[in-house]
Structures are given as structure tokens and as C-alpha cells.
Amino acid sequence: MRNRFDPVSLFRAIRRFAANKAGVSAVTFAISFSVLAPMTMGVFDIYQMNGQRGKLQDALDAAALYAARSTATTTKDIDIVGDKALAANLKLIPGATLQSSNFVLDTTGDAKVVATASVRVPALAPDAFTHNPVTVNTTVTRAGNNLEVALVLDNSSSMGANNNASLNALKSAAGQLVDLVVSDTQSPYYSKVSIIPYGNGVNVGTAYADIARGPILSANDALCKNGLNSLGCPNYTYKNKSGQNAPTEPSSTCVSERTGPEAYTDASPATAKVGYNYAAVNGSPVNPCIAAKMAPLSSDKTAIHTSINNLTACCSTGGHIGVAWGWYTLSPNWNGVFTGNAAPAAYGAPHTIKALVLMTDGEYNSVYCKGVIAKIGTNSSGASGSGSDNDHSDCLATNGKDAYGQAKALCAAMKASPNNVVIYTVGLNLANAAASDLVSSCATDAKHVYLPADGTAMTAAFNQIAADLQRLRLSQ
């Protein structure tokens, strides 16, 4: 027979269980706590670690990006910049400590900043599981540009005043700029500098002169023998400012300005030759071809420093010729002249910046007619500072503009699209309005104009230009 449900018996059983529940619960709680408490604290540890991991990753990403956008060019400097940025951005949970951080500049392939960082997080349940530091990493591909810079440097006689004080300051300033701009690592982006010293012209050396202005004819050429002389002959006799025969002057490896339709362009010399230069080595006072030679684009710091150290103050000032040759060293139209590592990139080439730094201490006073300094140089009163009247041709400047006007025309064309050359100007202790107008007009804008009063300030100006060039090189 099936047992019937007995509610009374059930009620009594419940009462007996209730009478003993305190003891059972205490035991049950003790057992449960010993198991669940570490698990609960461990879960909280994991929660803290995950929270710290997110904060660390955000801070490391920001620091690596900041380091990549900095001007640092070595792992040591990248690490310093990255560590400072990480410290500024990192938020630590209470009790956590930054154990390590490391920022490395990887220049294999595209330049990258590779960063890692670790944080030790406090543990509530140290025995529940292994508490390794929170470690994260990140990689930022560094933006960059190739950099081609022409340094157009005044070597005229005035730079030699006071025992070459200005010239020595220029050498120091230009040398520091080269050290800051030309990177020891030329991959994946290169940085090159050309040096263009100028006096009454630019000394381009025999090889470049023969291509740019044409070779010197033989003395036995029909144009050059039996008392005849012509442009291109080894020697040239001309009428001076007074209409009298001037001393016969030899050809030189200096060049004068280009004339004709291409006067203010960067056309190849295959299209239009530049001018000959018959400098006054027989004049009184002499006004010879300057000794320091132009050097095309190079990433060889030793060679560049040698060119700078060879600068010698001499002669009158044809600064517009220096401007022209600074442009030529940056122009792809001159790739037939400058080859190999010296060949400039095409205008508009990806990741490529072209810049020119023009330094002058004052008056541009030498323009040319038929390879000789013209009858009138800068103003209607003559070409003061460019030699004696006996050493000036009896004809006016072929281009019809003074040296300032020609320099400004070249700058305007250089800055225009598609050339887009960035121009910085440095006017050292300028004393005349025409020179001040030149440096203002030639520069890309007012922010690219520097007017130092002395050599110390000029060095500071060149360092500021170098920093800006670095910013351009390391930015998109």
C-alpha cells in the first residue's frame, strides 16, 4: 500500500533542521570563503591588470607617435623623447609602478619607432596565480622626406673685415647646419647639401665650366689669333668704362650670369649657356675669380666641411650669380651636369623637399656685359666696390637689371610652382635698403627671414634654420 503524505512529519523534520542550521552554515561559509575569496581577489587582480594594460597601451602609442614626429635621429635621442612623452601620458592605478620602457629607431626599410613598456600591478591574491608585469608594445612608421639644401654663401671682400670675423662666423654657422641637417643614416630618406660660395661670380671648376658656359677655344682658333679676341678665347681685351683699351684678362673657371630668354630660369645649359667671366687679375685693384669652388649636392659630411673651410673672402659681389647656381644644384634640369649622388630629384618627387639658404652681408654690385663687369652695376653712379673704372666694360649690363633685381627675379621663379623651392635668407648686419629688400623679397615668407647683427646671432639663425629643415625632413 502506497504511503500517504504526512504534513506533520514533514513539519517536524524542518524544525529539526532549523535547530541545527547555524552550525552547518558556519562550516559551509568557512569552506566557501577559503575557496572563493582568493578567486574573487584574483578576478579583481585580472580586472586591474586589464585596466592598466589599456592605459599603458594608450600612453605608449601616444609616446611612440610623438617620438616618431620629433627631430631625433638616433635611438638614444628617440629613447629620451619617448620616455618623457610616456611619463607625461601614463596613468597608473594606485600602487602600480612603471618597470621599464624602451624606444628604438629601426632604419631597416621604412624608418620605424619600436617601443615597449612594462608596469608592475599590485596583487590582492599573489598566490592565486602568477602575476607577471603588464607589458605592451607598439610600432610607428616614421614619416619622412628626402632633403636637398643649397647653401649660397657670401664670400665677398667685406666678409674678410676685422680679421675675417664675419667669414669665420659663417664657416662655423654653416658647418653646424650641415652637422644637424645631413643625417648619418641616408636610408630610407636621404639628406644632401650643396655649397655655392660667391664673390664677383661663382667658381664652378673646369669640368662644370666647360659644360655650363662652353669650353675655352684654342689660342690658335681663328677668333683668337693675330690680335683678335672674342668671348671664349683664352684671353680677352675689351674697352673700359672710359672707352679705352683695358688690360687683357685671362679666362677663368668663374662664370657670370645667363642672358636672354632663360636668364631667370633653371633651363639646362644644353638649352642656354651661362656667361663667361674674365676676372680682373691684371686690374688695379685686382678683382679675380674667387678661389672657393662650388660643390654640388652631397651627403659626404667630410667633403662638405672641406668646401666650407675653403671659403676665402675676396672680390666684389655678384650675389645673383650665387642665387642662380644654388637653384641649378637643386634643379632636375641640370641632371646632365650633376650626376650620380649629386643629381637632384625631380620637382614634385614624393617625399622630397628642396630648400635654399641665401646669406649676404650687404651690397650686390657686380653685373656683367660680355664676360666683364658692366659699366654700371648697382645704380646710376656706377658699380661701387666692384673694382676700378678701368676694369669695367664700356657696355651696360646685358640683362638690363642690377644684381638685386636679377636675384629677386631668380628667387620668384624658384619659389613658383612646380619648383616650390623653400628659401631662407640671412642678412648679416645689413646697412642698406636694397639689401634689406632683397632678403625680404627672396625668402618664402617673413618667417624665413633672419637678420642677425653679428656672428653669434648668425650662428643662432643657422641653427634655427637647421631645426626647421629637420622638421620638414621628418614630417609629411
Work out the burial of residue 41: count CB atoms within 10 Å of its CB; fewer than 13 is exposed, 13-18 middle, 19 or more buried: middle
CATH 3.30.1300 fits 33-141, yes or no: yes
The confidence band for 141, taking pLDDT boundaries of 50, 70 and 90, is confident
> What is the share, in percent, of the chain residues with pLDDT greater than 70?
86
Distance CA 201, CA 173 (A): 22
Q: Where are the beta strands (DSSP E) in 51-95?
A: none
Is the sign of the CA dihedral 381, 387, 388, 394 positive or negative? negative
One fold for 33-141 and 146-473: no
Distance CA 392, CA 410 (A): 24
Question: Hey, which residues does 357 pair with through a beta bridge?
Answer: 151, 424
The confidence band for 32, taking pLDDT boundaries of 50, 70 and 90, is very low
Cβ neighbours of residue 78 under 8 Å, at least 6 residues apart? 67, 70, 72, 103, 104, 105, 113
Per-residue model confidence (pLDDT) at position 7: 41
Answer yes or no: is pLDDT of 125 > 60.
no
Per-residue model confidence (pLDDT) at position 112: 87
Answer yes or no: is pLDDT of 278 > 70.
yes
Please name the amino acid found at residue 165.
Answer: A
Q: What is the 3-state secondary structure (H, E, C) of 196-226?
A: EEECCCEECHHHHHHHHCCCCCCCCCCCCCC
Select the more confidently predicted residue: 304 or 185.
304
CA angle 359, 385, 162 (to 5 degrees): 60
> Domain locations in the chain?
33-141, 146-473
Q: What average pLDDT does range 266-284 have in this prediction? A: 93
- Which set of grid coordinates corresponds to residue 426? 640671412
CA angle 129, 134, 54 (to 5 degrees): 120
Answer yes or no: is pLDDT of 44 > 70.
no
* Each residue's pLDDT tens digit, 197-253: 999 999 999 989 999 999 999 999 999 987 778 889 999 988 888 888 888 899 999
Cβ neighbours of residue 287 under 8 Å, at least 6 residues apart? 200, 279, 280, 315, 316, 373, 386, 387, 391
| Beta carbons within 10 angstroms of residue 155's beta carbon | 28
Residue reference for cell 591588470: 49
Distance CA 435, CA 154 (A): 13
Of 12-26, 328-342, 359-373, the one with minimum mean pLDDT is 12-26
The confidence band for 263, taking pLDDT boundaries of 50, 70 and 90, is very high
Per-residue model confidence (pLDDT) at position 12: 54
Per-residue model confidence (pLDDT) at position 127: 53
Q: What average pLDDT does range 119-134 have in this prediction? A: 72
Highest mean pLDDT among 31-45, 383-397, 426-440: 426-440
146-473: CATH architecture: 3-Layer(aba) Sandwich (3.40)
Highest mean pLDDT among 38-47, 216-225, 375-384: 216-225
Select the more confidently predicted residue: 76 or 129.
76
Per-residue model confidence (pLDDT) at position 239: 86
| Beta carbons within 10 angstroms of residue 102's beta carbon | 14
DSSP 138-153: EEEEPP--EEEEEEEE
Answer yes or no: is pLDDT of 446 > 70.
yes
Answer yes or no: is pLDDT of 3 > 80.
no
